[in-house]
Amino acid sequence: MKQDSPYDVDVLRKEFPILDKEVNGHPLVYLDSAASAQKPRAVIEAQREYEAHFHSNIHRGVHTLATKATEAYEGVRAKLKNHINASKREEIIFTSGTTDSINLVAGTWGRANLKKSDTIVLTRLEHHSNIVPWQILAQEKGFAIEVVEIKENGELCENSLKEKLALSPKIVCVSHVSNTLGTINDVKNITKQAHQVGALVLIDGAQAAPHKTIDVQVIDCDFYAGSAHKMYGPSGVGFLYGKHELLCQMPPCRGGGEMIESVSFEKQTTFNVPPYKFEAGTPNLSGVVGYGAAIDWINSLGLDNIAAHENSLLEYASSKLLQIEGLRLIGTAKSKASVISFLVDGIHPSDIGTLLDQLGIAVRTGHHCTEPIMTKLGIPGTVRASFAAYSTFSEVDALVAGVERAVKMLR
Ligand code: PLP
């Protein structure tokens, strides 16, 4: 099945060495990009080039390689600042990914500011990464966690949000895009409402950054977190955006080299300014360099083009899958990104996933690190197919044929 796309997907796929692979005797059909996207040659090469020719530790040396490595690393910080339209490069902290970024906010801002009588607000849609760090801190501090509920279609319930905001929470933590249901939350509007009651806003952008243009100044959020490996970049790298005045007030949470101004046994040790205050130790240098290449790659294609292509795939896949008897889509929000979760009556999702794997089709099954969604919907998990810039309509056809075959075998 061939459909219109803003770019030539077949040509683009040649940039991804892994997409040529066979799995279990079949051409790989990779529909698990929400878990981790594949990397174009430009990213793989940028990392290799760095390791082979430029590697040295950053910030500390006066020698040529140390200067080049520092320039490369700080250059990516500037790139990321532009990519999400932060107002200053100091607002970008490199982390190991979204999970690390959220733990950083909980461990610094949260530990310094939350007390027993406080309330924070999460939503039912959150990934465990945006739940558990807050629960761990709540065990220590004793504050209350309130949850904004979802509607049947997977959208956040506006009344529930209003009720929770009426409790005057200290922070609202919300995903931009749900990794399980694909729901795109109106984070600008949520942020505006949260600010009206004096709450800060942290946005988990792990699933939004690969698909949407992010403008943190337009959203006006206080924190925004993302992961490189969901954006065609390396794993073990990500970012935390934080408003500069907040980062200046926040204490560090990890001590070590580079995050200090002066260390002394005789006087008080003093700390560096943001972002360095939060970047103790030697970071994932080649990973950051690869992340820079991934951002260039995304921008050369254009996020609007990627989103247009993925939206056509989503529409096509939804209509095709719904023709299978007993199949229902889980998550039908009006505004959705490129994730499609489904269940087939009477068949466990992991059985479908296992049979699809035998056909070389990679999908994810289970709770997708969002157990509270499963509890609410009363389901054990879902089968989740997710799309990226390189996904094709014929891969959707393969998925549909594979599910039909699995259903025949398992019924
Ligand atoms: N938040 C969401 C919405 C996600 O989908 C994921 C990963 O799947 C994460 C957070 C965690 O990202 P990472 O494992 O890169 O830290």
Q: Rg of the Cα trace of the chain?
A: 22
**Model pLDDT for residues 84-122, shown as the tens digit of each residue:** 999 999 999 999 999 999 999 999 999 999 999 999 999
Contacts for 184 with CB less than 8 Å, ≥ 6 apart: 176, 177, 208, 212, 333, 335, 336, 337
Give yes or no for residue 129 CB within 6 A of ligand 1.
yes
User: What pLDDT was estimated at residue 155?
Assistant: 98
- CATH fold match for the domains 9-36+302-410 and 45-300: no
Distance 95 CA to ligand 1 centre (A): 13
* SS3 label, residue 177: strand
- Name beta bridge partners: 172: 121, 201
Sequence ranges of the domains in the chain = 9-36+302-410, 45-300
Give yes or no for residue 99 CB within 6 A of ligand 1.
yes
**Is 148 a residue whose pLDDT tops 80?**
yes
Distance 98 CA to ligand 1 centre (A): 6
Q: How confident is the model at residue 1 (pLDDT cuts 50, 70, 90)?
A: very low
DSSP letter assigned to residue 347: B
- CB atoms closer than 10 angstroms to residue 324: 15
Q: State yes or no: is 157 an active-site residue.
A: no
**Is 185 a residue whose pLDDT tops 80?**
yes
| HSE-up (13 A, CA, CB side) for residue 348 | 6
Say if CB 223 and CB 241 are below 8 A apart.
Answer: yes
DSSP letter assigned to residue 192: H
**Model pLDDT for residues 191-203, shown as the tens digit of each residue:** 999 999 999 999 9
d(C-alpha 27, C-alpha 402), whole Å:
13
Give yes or no for residue 97 CB within 6 A of ligand 1.
yes
The residue whose C-alpha atom lies closest to atom 6 belonging to ligand 1 is 206
- Angle at which helices 349-358 and 393-410 cross, to 10°: 120
Nearest residue to 211 via CA among 78, 387, 4: 387
Give yes or no for residue 175 CB within 6 A of ligand 1.
yes
Instruction: Give the CATH class of 45-300.
Output: alpha beta
d(C-alpha 327, C-alpha 405), whole Å:
13
Q: State the distance between the two ends of the chain, measured CA to CA, in whole angstroms.
A: 28
Distance 6 CA to ligand 1 centre (A): 28
d(C-alpha 365, C-alpha 154), whole Å:
18
For domain 9-36+302-410, give the CATH number.
3.90.1150.10
Give yes or no for residue 207 CB within 6 A of ligand 1.
yes
Give yes or no for residue 205 CB within 6 A of ligand 1.
no
Ligand 1 pocket mutation pick from 224, 369, 384 by most atoms within 8 angstroms of CB? 369
d(C-alpha 258, C-alpha 236), whole Å:
19
Ligand 1 atom closest to Cα of 238? 15
- Angle at which helices 285-301 and 303-321 cross, to 10°: 80
Distance 67 CA to ligand 1 centre (A): 33
User: What pLDDT was estimated at residue 5?
Assistant: 86
Distance 368 CA to ligand 1 centre (A): 10
- Report the chain's mean pLDDT, rounded to a whole number: 97
Q: Which of 157, 173, 221, 369 is catalytic?
A: 369
Q: Report the DSSP pairing between strands 200-204 and 171-175.
A: parallel
**Model pLDDT for residues 160-180, shown as the tens digit of each residue:** 999 999 999 999 999 999 999
By percentage, how much of the chain surpasses pLDDT 70? 99
